[in-house]
Structures are given as C-alpha cells and as structure tokens.
Structure 1
Amino acid sequence: MSKESLFAVSLFPYLGFLYFLTKSGQTPKLALIGFYVLLIFVAVTIPAGIYAKQAYGLELANVDWLHGGAEFFLTLSNILVVLGFRNAVQKLKAD
C-alpha cells in the first residue's frame, strides 16, 4: 500500500474517533477544537503536496515554505489539544 493510500484510509478511523469524542461530551472544548483543527492540517497538506510535486517536481517535505505552512496547522492543533487538557486538569485541581 502506498503512503498516499495509507494517508487517505487513515482519515476514516480518525473521523470515527472525532465522532465518538464529540458524542461523549467529556472532552474539553478547546482540546476538541484542536482535534478538529487537525482536519485543517490534512485539508491543507494534500493540495500543498500536489502543488509541490507539480510546480517544483519535489515532495512536500522538500519545499520549505509549503511544508512549513502546512505544518503550522499541525502545531496549532497540538497547542490547542494541550491547552484544552491543561485547563481541564487545572480546573479539576481547583475543585
């Protein structure tokens, strides 16, 4: 299986994860937003990778400005998840 196919197939389990995480109602809101922002990362990475291949003949990882722009959304997602859970833990400690 190619890495592109694996990337596409991995989206379905992640959507299931988001569905159950949202449905549980137990995930801190900011962390949940962070998990959804990861979908923006995926949505940006795919066309950026296609553009890198067509415009430069290179993989996305080898076109720094495109790769960095796409990775920004991964970083943002991670920050939101961490802050969401951090705030929830602090709230539990305060109670």
Structure 2
Amino acid sequence: MSKDTLFAISLFPYLGFLWFLTRSQQTPKLALIGFYVLLIFVAVTIPAGIYAKIHYGEALANIDWLHGSAESFLSISNILVVLGFRQAILEAKKKETQP
C-alpha cells in the first residue's frame, strides 16, 4: 500500500474521532477547534504536494518554503489543542479551590 493511499484512508478514522469528540460535548471548545484545524492542514498539504511535484518535480518535503507553509497549519492546530486543554485544566483547578 502506498503512503498516499494510507494517507487518504487515515482520514476516515480521524473523521470518526472528530464526530465522537464533538458529540461527547466534553472536549474543551478551543481544543476541539484545534482538532478541526488539522483538517485544514490536510486540505492545504494535498494541493501543496501536487504543486511541488508538478512545478518542481520534487516531493513536498524537499521544497522548504512550501513544506514549511503547509506545516504551519499543523503547528496552529497543535497550539490550539494544547491551549484548549490547558484552559480546561486551569478551570478545573479553580473549581476545586473554590469553596
């Protein structure tokens, strides 16, 4: 199985993951937004990879400016997830200390 096929197939379990997270209504809102932003990363990475192959004849990973731009969406996603869970932890601690 090629890496491209595996990448495409992996989208379905992730969509299921998002569905369950959203439906549970227990995930901090900002973290949930971060998990959804990961879909933007996927949506940007695919055309960027095609562009790299057509215009440069290289894999996306070999075109630094294009790869870095696409990966910035992954970084944004990670930051939102961390900030969302951090906020939830701080709120939980605050509730514990209040009488």
TM over 0.5: yes
Superposed structure 1 runs of 4+ greater than 2 Å apart: none
Output aligned runs, 1:40-79, within 5 Å. 40-79=40-79
d(CA) in 2 for partners of 1:38, 1:9: 16
Structure 1, unpaired ranges of 5+:
none
The alpha carbon displacement at 1:79 in A equals: 0.1
d(CA) in 1 for partners of 2:70, 2:41: 6
d(CA) in 2 for partners of 1:66, 1:24: 36
Counterpart for residue 7 of structure 2:
7
d(CA) in 1 for partners of 2:16, 2:92: 28
1:18 aligns to 2:18 (yes or no): yes
For 2:33, the aligned partner's letter is I
The alpha carbon displacement at 1:83 in A equals: 0.2
Query: Which SS does the other structure have where 2:26 is aligned?
Result: coil
Structure 2, unpaired ranges of 5+:
none
The alpha carbon displacement at 1:26 in A equals: 0.2
What's the C-alpha RMSD, in Å, of the aligned pairs? 0.2
The alpha carbon displacement at 1:72 in A equals: 0.3
1:86 aligns to 2:86 (yes or no): yes
Between the two proteins, the alignment pairs up a number of residues equal to 95
Query: Which SS does the other structure have where 1:27 is aligned?
Result: coil
